[in-house]
Structure 1
Amino acid sequence: MATGHQVDLLVIGCGPAGASAARTAAEAGLSVLLIDRRSKIGDPVQCAEFVPLPMARHVKRTGTLVQTIATMTSFLPSGAQDISDFPGLIIDRGAFDRALAAEAGAAGATIWTDCRFLGWNGKVATLQQGERTVPVSARCLIGADGPHSSVAAALGLKPQPIVQTRQYTVPLRRPHTATDIYLSDRFPGGYGWLFPKATVANLGVGADRGLGPDLKTPLDQLHRDLAASGLVGTDILHRTGGAIPVGGARGMVHGNTVLVGDAAGLTHPITGAGISAAVISGEAAGHAAARWCAGEPKAFVEMEDDMQELFGPTLQRGVQCRSRFQPLWHSTATQDDTVMRHGWIAFEQYFAQAA
């Protein structure tokens, strides 16, 4: 790596948002450097690996489909079950990330792995790869570095509110085509889930650590319950976990610096879904970077307006729902099925509330 490296666009983070931004910008003719702090892109996977049907073209293009999903089963505190149409796709998330990165590389982006972002003054970024500190001059920068974004911190932004997750991969004992959602006070500020993945399943829980600091105990209990039912095996094949931003969208554009995906708070505050928003916002930011570098000063602002129009109402509804539920956790209210229906997207009560 040469000291004084210069590019049009520097992208921090090689997940779906960053790789999509790098690809679209490189296809538009920009010189692009895409970096990731991990030594292997896509590893570890911190995701339940479900994407909605509108992502099908990306899944097909990358060849990362594992199985299809037809319905969602929501389990309420009383034990009642509600089945709703909720078609989607389960993907191999690690392979998906690597395929998107490969597309960015094929489009002309340079990719550095095992590389950390240390700082940015609006003109020069300081990166570290191994023992070497490397300055990189860039006309603009895209931060796609997740919920604990170092780019956002460099801009002086406050940390995002987050929910912590813990997930096991377990054997699946019979074919399953539904995503199962467990709504319970055992998972305050979050929920439990089982997402089938052919012969295995991603079994996890998410919770607000301020309300439920122990994720292992409720996850182990959920695992025991489902193993006793015969749906899953007792073995734990893989463990993972991570953070999900739940504060809604924050400012994406800061001069010549743009945040996308989880770093921009575009993750759904109730479901935690974020892959689709990451790809969409990444592609939009890559196109906007090309326009901005071509002399269109409003390109980034117009991009943010488009993203706000697309995601804003949904994110606002989710944030307000979280706010309404915050004082209810660990009270008798969360034992009431009717109350819990107001807090989950599968039910009409959730959408009947003013956003």
Structure 2
Amino acid sequence: MRQVDVLVIGLGPGGASAAATAAEAGREVLAIERNRVIGEPVQCAEFIPRPMGRYAQGEGVLQQTITGMKTALPSGEVAESEFPGLMIDRAAFDQAIAERARAAGAELRSATRLVDLDPANRRATIADESGETEVGFGVLVAADGPHSPSARFAGVPPQRTVQTRQYTVPLLSEYPDTDIWLSDEFPGGYGWLFPRAGVANIGLGIDRAVDRDLKTPLEELHAHLVEQGLVGEEILGRTGGAIPVGGLREHLVLDGPLLLVGDAAGLTHPITGAGIAAGVVSGERAGEAAAAWLDGDDEALEDYEEDVRDQFETSVARGVARRQELDRIWRTPAASEDANLRRGWIAFDEYFAA
């Protein structure tokens, strides 16, 4: 049986960051990724807030800057607000963090998945094309997304999610803003356009408990933007995926110990779906905590949970509360009233009101 100090499941921003910090602390790290190529397929609108810019220094990562946000309301009113950020190549972003982990000595394996987990005995079974391998670990970092197999094996209930669908299309002129559409046509989510250096990511999120059809409204949004002359008709790429919207898990540290990070921890913003920054921050903190705990700091794991909650819980809890308010009005006349949707979106002061 292979034995490692830290086993990381998932090599998105959270898992790669955890692998990097644990390896930099001198620990033996094995990190696995179920996809063949780290960072691919991209399931993301590829926006990060401006303070995350130091992570966008790798070759090919930074694509363009964003200065503002235009939010379209049901009445047709369009509200403009400042929204500084960066558009990235998400695959290159993930790969750059993974290279940092590899440079620090972490072993990274792609096309490898978790097939069984025994937290009580700190054993995991992983599998690739050559077969299954049993791995013993000191700490496991679960960074394996909204449907986290690690959490499932540990007996944690599944998270509530919404589904997203996105096209990448040609952008016909330079565009510095992101566009947002709030509408009952996108119940449980919203429509978006994020420009990225000659192309645009246009997409939407929908709560499938309300409506299961994502294709029709996305095609209508695409056609509308083509008619406006903003984007081209050609679809260069398609993607989509689940976004956790239920808020932080009840516990971020489970017996084993297992540390949940990023989407697996429920750190994704329940309204915007933003999760890259939270993934990186929680991943780095998890890697540091794992190394410190293995070095004999008995409070390191408790500190990890406390630190992450201090940084994210208030914002995420507010998002959960606003989502619950919106859940009560979808597919009713109230969902066509600007005031109700303003209260449910981060660009408006009403969102932050008591």
Give the TM-score of the pair, scaled to structure 2: 0.98
| Alignment of 1:244 onto 2:243 | yes
Partner of 2:38: 41
Q: Which residue of 2 aligns with 1:71?
A: 68
Q: Which residue of the partner structure matches residue 92 of structure 2?
A: 95
- Matching residue of 2:273: 272
Cα deviation, residue 232, structure 1:
0.5
Report the Cα distance in structure 2 between the residues aligned to 1:177 and 1:108, rounded to whole angstroms.
39
Query: 1:321: which partner in 2?
Result: 322
Letter in 2 for 1:193: W
CA distance in 2, matches of 1:16, 1:238: 22
Matches within 5 A, 1:1-355: 4-61=1-58, 64-122=61-119, 123-250=122-249, 251-255=251-255, 256-352=257-353, 354=354
Distance 1:49 1:215 in 2: 20
Which SS does the other structure have where 2:210 is aligned? coil
**Residue 62 of structure 1 contacts residue 100 of structure 1 at CA under 8 Å; is this kept in 2?**
no
One-letter amino acid of the counterpart of residue 167, structure 2: Y
Distance in 2 between residues matched to 1:189 and 1:311, nearest whole Å:
21
Q: Which string of whole-angstrom CA distances, capped at 9 and with x for unpartnered residues, describes residues 46-85 of structure 1?
A: 0000000110111125651000000010000111100000
**Contact 2:113–2:126 (Cα < 8 Å) also in 1:** yes
Which SS does the other structure have where 2:57 is aligned? helix
CA distance in 1, matches of 2:76, 2:348: 16
Give the letter for the 2:342 counterpart: R
Once the 2 structures are TM-superposed, how far is the Cα of residue 26 of structure 1 from its aligned partner?
A: 0.2
User: Alpha-carbon deviations, 1:17-69, whole Å to 9, x = none?
Assistant: 00000000000000000000011111100000000011011112565100000
The one-letter code sitting in structure 1 at the alignment partner of 2:285 is A
Structure 2: how far apart are the matches of 1:321 and 1:62? 38
CA distance in 2, matches of 1:63, 1:222: 29
SS at the partner of 1:328?
A: coil
Instruction: State the distance in 2 between where 1:176 and 1:161 align.
Output: 34
**Contact residue 2 and residue 135 of structure 2 kept, 8 A:** yes
Shift of 1:312: 0.4
Q: Is the 8 A contact 1:11 1:34 kept in 2?
A: yes
The number of residues matched between the two structures is 350
Give ranges in structure 1 of 5+ residues lacking alignment.
Answer: none
Which has the larger displacement, 49-58 or 113-122? 113-122
Instruction: Give the TM-score taking structure 1 as reference length.
Output: 0.97
DSSP 3-state at the match of 2:64: strand
Q: Tell me, in whole angstroms, the C-alpha distance in 1 between the residues paired with 2:263 and 2:207.
A: 17
Query: Can you list the C-alpha shifts for 1:233-286, whole angstroms capped at 9, x where unaligned?
Result: 111110000000000110210131111000000000000000000000000000
Look up the SS of the partner of 1:60 in the other structure: coil
CA contact (8 A) 1:47 1:93 kept: yes
Contact residue 148 and residue 264 of structure 2 kept, 8 A: yes
1:113-156: CA deviation from partner (whole Å, max 9, x where unpaired): 11110122121111111141100011110000000100010110
With 73-82 and 58-67 compared, the bigger mean Cα shift is at: 58-67
**Cα deviation, residue 198, structure 1:** 1.1
- Per the TM alignment, residue 112 of structure 1 is displaced from its structure 2 partner at its CA by 0.9
Local SS of the residue matching 2:84: strand
Percent of paired sites with the same residue? 55
